[in-house]
Structure 1
Amino acid sequence: MNIVSGTKSKAFIIFILAFGVFGIINTEMGIIGILPLIAENFGVSVSTAGLLVSLFALAVAISGSILPLLFSGFNRKGVMLLAIGLFVVSNVVSMFAPNFTIALIARIVPAFLHPVYVSVAFTAAASSVSPEMAPKAIGRVFMGLTAGMIIGTPIASFIAVYANLEIAMLFFAVVNALTFLAILLFVPSLPVKQKQSYGSQVRILKKGVVWAAIFGAIFILSGMYATFSFFAEYLGRVTEMSSNTISLMLILFGLTGMIGNLLAGKLLTNNALKTAFVYPLVFVGSYLVLFLLGSFTVPMILLIAFWGVLFTFGLNISQYMITSSAPEAPDFSNGLFVAFSNLGVTIGTMVSGAFINGMGIQSVMWVGIVFLLLGFLSILLFIPLTRKSNIKDASKLAA
């Protein structure tokens, strides 16, 4: 199914989809930098304010494998408008929330539709181009995810400090409102022409290659977030960077992450299995160097730039493995990616947190290495299962 004809029109619509992902991820992650202000505003502790982040992620993890499946038969434009519209409303409610409970509810409710929008955006981007070019199109949508994760947090913090908390919340609302209008005006109707039964989609869970991909994604994301969740702490305590320098490093990390998206899309398009095979080994090597040179500022700046590239590679590769293992159920498989990647984030962060308490901040690199090696073992299983699956598909077409 092609969204529209014309290369420029397709590129513009993919940009809109990416901007929508930026708005949603910005709403999720941007609030991290203003938690102290939120705690002060509502008269709660910072740990209590942290529920705005943790419960949001939990809602995403719970709904990721369910709601994309339930919405898979509906017009994709309508589904995206519903999800983005709910985020706009929740952002506005958060601005005027009279107490913390209302603010928490306003955060949790739209979080359930987070994986719905993201999975539909990935599916719509992939379906707008040929199957061979799908990884590149998805990589461009991933740029919105990277921008939301990395750039959204310092922007929201800057607005809250130099204006006020309400204006920072307004920033979230404006980004999502612009996306809503762009989808409404410029994205054509996207009906699902071949509606699949829920049973036929769930049936992909019987495939061994799907589970190899799922475990690969869980371990890779665990390895990524085992270190990234403590990025600022590592640079502050090991490299002894100032808070202002760390903020600049986050921006550098985000900018090189966007470059990583483009490179990942190109490499996955040209040679996906080889890219997936090499990736965790390269990342393990980079963690070893980060561990050895962590106290040296100049080498760390260069390593952080490379780290950003590898980080977004992991997101692209994980999404590719899950969706390519079940092309017959794109919405459901994209939902599985969102759900299990969030599970990986939770596992990696929790395990590293436990090791930090017992062995110090530098131990996060070793935790990351262990998870990446487990991801590599999953990829070793994924590759032959994928080739076997491709042979079966080719035989069916030949018959």
Structure 2
Amino acid sequence: MPSGLVALALGGFGIGLTEFLIAGLLPQVASSFGVSEAAAGRLISGYALSVAIGALALTAATARLPRKGVLVGLVALFVIGNLLSAVAPSYSVMLLGRIVAALCHGSFFGIGSLVARSLVAPERKSRAVAVMFAGLTVANVLGVPFGALVGERWGWRAAFWAVTAIGVLALAGIVALVPGWAGQVRPPAESGRAGAVPPSGLRAQFRAFRSWQVWLTLTATALGYGGMFGAFSYIAYTFTEVSGFSPADVAWLLMVYGVGLVVGNLIGGRAADRDRDRALVLALLGLTITLAVFGLLAGSAIASVILVFLMGVTGFAGVPGMITRVTDFAHGAALAASANVSASNIGNALGAWLGGLSITAGLGYTAPLHVGAGIALVAVIVMAVAAHHARSPAHRTDHSM
């Protein structure tokens, strides 16, 4: 494994950690600044909104710059944001720190995926992306308990100091281990001619969005995430109100889900390198079936443990393949890779909103699972259409709208 991938994975771990650990620290933060729970919650929602905006804005603004240099700048921004949070004298400064840290999130994973795939042979590109995302999935497992443990023992500021230190290590790793040429040249097997340079100008970056395949992949990404988060956003209620678990059990059940994310990410990367479109359709179909069965068997504690693990596996198995697919059809445009991150966040918001509507409508705490299954089924259809269109003879000569 190239050492540069390890540095990227460490950066992904730090970014994922700062996203997730705040959930376990909200009571302490709210008490420290004397703000309401709702205000403290904006430290989460503000972060998510900034991710969606920063993914496109920063990628577009840095389109002509060397990608290693951009990654160094993004991780430096991450360090500054978490340092602001660690020393914040007021709630407003804390929120500013969260926003600054979040701005780098989408661009890091978008541009980082292009750098990661350039470090390996073309037939291993999805696995390389999966290695980078392994940091994010591990952070999903450890983020909340890490924040709660460190916060309880040394205070919530200590958690942000720890993340800042991880960011500094990732920054040093990227500077030392990622080669300067990484992400700048597409492999001949992908570009059709040796040494082809990905589009760098803003106009060329936007031209990549003329491809139907780019839009179909982004749509499938949004719907796939929407299906998973339509269910996941309310899974604690499902566990406690339907499956019979106590509130104290929710933490370890979420860790089971997180382990599923790690497994799904690694399996999905390998499968996508063998037959990407088939792997993506099967991952989305697996998510659809898992959520539908979960909705039917949520009353069983044993079944719930198994199915929340499978929800993590199938929900994240498509991520490496989706990113390599959208960047392939966008001819390496970094803006398309970052747009994939934005699409996932849009899907998260859509799924959570629709899942909430189903509960408000009085359909019960298993309803979000069925809503998620329905959204994921639409994703299967979109991905199947994209795969069929990609195989058609006409597509070989015309990739655009």
Same-fold call, TM > 0.5?
Answer: yes
- 2:27 is equivalent to residue 23 of structure 1: no
User: Aligned residue for 2:343?
Assistant: 340
Write the distance in 2 (CA, Å) between the matches of 1:150 and 1:237.
23
Q: Please say if residues 35 and 46 of structure 1, whose CA atoms lie closer than 8 Å, have aligned partners that are also in contact.
A: yes
Cα deviation, residue 240, structure 1? 2.0
AA aligned opposite 2:248: N
Cα deviation, residue 127, structure 1? 0.7
- 2:126 is equivalent to residue 126 of structure 1: no
User: Aligned residue for 1:225?
Assistant: 229
Aligned pair in 2 of structure 1 residues 197, 301: CA closer, same or farther (>3 Å)? same
User: Aligned residue for 2:319?
Assistant: 315
Deviation digits for residues 158-211 of structure 1 (CA, Å, limit 9, x no counterpart): 111222111112122121111112122332323736363221221121111111
Which of 62, 66, 75 lines up with 1:71 in the alignment? 62
- 2:282 is equivalent to residue 291 of structure 1: no
- 2:334 is equivalent to residue 331 of structure 1: yes
Gaps of 5+ in 2: 186-196
Q: Please say if residues 279 and 318 of structure 2, whose CA atoms lie closer than 8 Å, have aligned partners that are also in contact.
A: no
User: Aligned residue for 2:103?
Assistant: 112
Indicate the larger mover: 225-234 or 264-273. 225-234
- Is the partner of 1:360 in helix, strand or coil? coil
Write the distance in 1 (CA, Å) between the matches of 2:161 and 2:112.
24
Indicate the larger mover: 49-58 or 62-71. 62-71
User: Aligned residue for 1:357?
Assistant: 360
- 2:274 is equivalent to residue 273 of structure 1: no
* Structure 1 segments (4+ residues) deviating >4 Å: none
AA aligned opposite 1:335: S
Indicate the larger mover: 26-35 or 336-345. 26-35
Gaps of 5+ in 1: 1-7, 395-399
User: Aligned residue for 2:381?
Assistant: 377
Q: Please say if residues 83 and 113 of structure 1, whose CA atoms lie closer than 8 Å, have aligned partners that are also in contact.
A: yes
AA aligned opposite 1:283: L
User: Aligned residue for 1:159?
Assistant: 150
Give the root-mean-square deviation of aligned CA atoms.
1.9
AA aligned opposite 2:343: F
Question: Residues 87-236 of structure 1: matches in 2 within 5 Å?
Answer: 87-190=78-181, 192=184, 194=197, 196-236=200-240
User: Aligned residue for 1:392?
Assistant: 397
Q: Please say if residues 146 and 258 of structure 1, whose CA atoms lie closer than 8 Å, have aligned partners that are also in contact.
A: yes
- Is the partner of 1:113 in helix, strand or coil? helix
Q: Please say if residues 220 and 372 of structure 1, whose CA atoms lie closer than 8 Å, have aligned partners that are also in contact.
A: yes
AA aligned opposite 2:323: Q
Cα deviation, residue 212, structure 1? 1.1
Q: Please say if residues 68 and 335 of structure 1, whose CA atoms lie closer than 8 Å, have aligned partners that are also in contact.
A: yes
Aligned pair in 2 of structure 1 residues 377, 80: CA closer, same or farther (>3 Å)? same
Write the distance in 2 (CA, Å) between the matches of 1:135 and 1:42.
44
Q: Please say if residues 225 and 315 of structure 2, whose CA atoms lie closer than 8 Å, have aligned partners that are also in contact.
A: no
Write the distance in 2 (CA, Å) between the matches of 1:267 and 1:144.
19
Q: Please say if residues 69 and 335 of structure 1, whose CA atoms lie closer than 8 Å, have aligned partners that are also in contact.
A: no
AA aligned opposite 1:249: L
Deviation digits for residues 212-254 of structure 1 (CA, Å, limit 9, x no counterpart): 1111111111101101122222212211212332211222222
Write the distance in 2 (CA, Å) between the matches of 1:185 and 1:127.
17
- Is the partner of 1:373 in helix, strand or coil? helix
Count residues in correspondence.
Answer: 384
Cα deviation, residue 137, structure 1? 0.8
Task: State, as a whole percentage, how many aligned pairs show the same letter.
Answer: 26
Q: Please say if residues 219 and 371 of structure 1, whose CA atoms lie closer than 8 Å, have aligned partners that are also in contact.
A: yes
Q: Please say if residues 213 and 325 of structure 1, whose CA atoms lie closer than 8 Å, have aligned partners that are also in contact.
A: no
AA aligned opposite 2:346: L
User: Aligned residue for 2:256?
Assistant: 252
Cα deviation, residue 149, structure 1? 2.4
Q: Please say if residues 115 and 335 of structure 1, whose CA atoms lie closer than 8 Å, have aligned partners that are also in contact.
A: yes
Write the distance in 2 (CA, Å) between the matches of 1:162 and 1:236.
28
- TM-score, length basis structure 1: 0.91
Cα deviation, residue 393, structure 1? 7.9
User: Aligned residue for 1:397?
Assistant: none
AA aligned opposite 2:241: R
